[in-house]
Structure 1
Amino acid sequence: MSWQAYVDTSLVGSGQVHKACIASLAGDSVWATSPEFAVTPDELKTIANIFKEGKEGETAMKVYAGGLNVAGERYVVPRIEDASAYARQGRTGVCISTTKQAIIITWHNDTGVAGNATQTTQKLADYLIGQGY
């Protein structure tokens, strides 16, 4: 399956997330994305640094204090774990999961359920990890 098919079918096609992006864990390239979900190179690098440095690293502390920008929008970050993070803006939110080689970023709208979006994102991450990615 192509990276774009994972975005379109496994993530957005689930109905639990409304936009998604899959990028390299290094934060240097986007592999597939939904239309109108343009995660910038600087935003991607910040996200990659969160997981490179760890949940108590300098970048994590900065986003806890000042928020995280994703696709041009600023989100409050209530939770960062070893391989995942969640950010919200009102009733919308961003779920991030990492694998050995990839970062999966999903967005749900204000009618979405954060827990369902997080579960969908993590399910794909777990599958990709099982496939060696």
Structure 2
Amino acid sequence: MSWDSYISDQLLASGNVQKGAICGLDGSVWAVSDSWGIQAAEAQKLANAFKDPSVLHMGGIVVAGEKFMFLGGTDEVLRGKKQANGIHIVKTNTAMIIGYYADPIKHPQCATTVENLGDYLKSVNY
């Protein structure tokens, strides 16, 4: 399975994620939904935020040029929101999965889908 098919078959097909991406912890973009312009610099900033999320408190989470208010996170999960839409990011061993949801989808639905894929990738050592 290619990285693109993880986006289409695991994230988007669930109906719980409208846009998705998988990026390396080095900031490289491995796969991304059509017409979602995630930049390597944005991915690198997010990867660094797993170690030090304080950088997101002032600047928020920026993905594809869209800014989300940083809600919180851990060393494995980052969450952001913009009105009724949001972003859920999960770190795996070598990558991060970025899921975007929009109303009427709610955060728990997106989070479950993104985290399940993250758990799977960790189990196969990605």
Aligned residue for 2:38, secondary structure, equals coil
Which residue of 2 is the match for residue 47 of structure 1?
A: 46
Aligned residue for 2:114, secondary structure, equals helix
Cα separation, 2, equivalents of 1:103 and 1:62: 18
Aligned residue for 2:48, secondary structure, equals helix
TM-score normalized with structure 1 length: 0.91
Cα separation, 2, equivalents of 1:64 and 1:4: 31
Aligned residue for 2:113, secondary structure, equals helix
Mean Cα displacement is larger for which, 33-42 or 7-16?
33-42
TM-score normalized with structure 2 length: 0.96
Aligned residue for 1:111, secondary structure, equals coil
For the 8 Å contact 2:89–2:98, the answer to whether it is kept is: yes
CA RMSD across the alignment: 0.9
Cα separation, 1, equivalents of 2:60 and 2:24: 22
Question: Can you give the 5+ residue segments of structure 2 that lack an aligned partner in the other structure?
Answer: none
Identity of aligned residues (%): 33
Deviation track 1:71-105 (CA, whole Å, cap 9, x = no partner) reads 11110011111101110000100000010011100
For the 8 Å contact 2:25–2:44, the answer to whether it is kept is: no
Which residue of 2 is the match for residue 131 of structure 1?
A: 124
Aligned residue for 1:116, secondary structure, equals helix
For the 8 Å contact 2:18–2:100, the answer to whether it is kept is: yes
CA deviation after TM superposition for structure 1 residue 123, in Å:
0.2
Deviation track 1:26-70 (CA, whole Å, cap 9, x = no partner) reads 21x11111012111122111101112xx2xx2xx21211221111
**Residue 92 (str. 1) matches residue 46 (str. 2):** no
Cα separation, 2, equivalents of 1:10 and 1:130: 16
Which residue of 2 is the match for residue 2 of structure 1?
A: 2
Aligned residue for 1:127, secondary structure, equals helix
Cα separation, 1, equivalents of 2:42 and 2:6: 21
Moved >6 Å (runs of 4+): none
Out of 81, 105, 109, which is 2:74 matched to?
81
Aligned residue for 1:12, secondary structure, equals helix
User: Given residue 3 of structure 1, which amino acid in structure 2 is its aligned partner?
Assistant: W
User: Given residue 47 of structure 1, which amino acid in structure 2 is its aligned partner?
Assistant: L
Which residue of 1 is the match for residue 99 of structure 2?
A: 106
Mean Cα displacement is larger for which, 75-84 or 62-71?
62-71
For the 8 Å contact 2:29–2:39, the answer to whether it is kept is: no
Out of 107, 115, 120, which is 2:113 matched to?
120
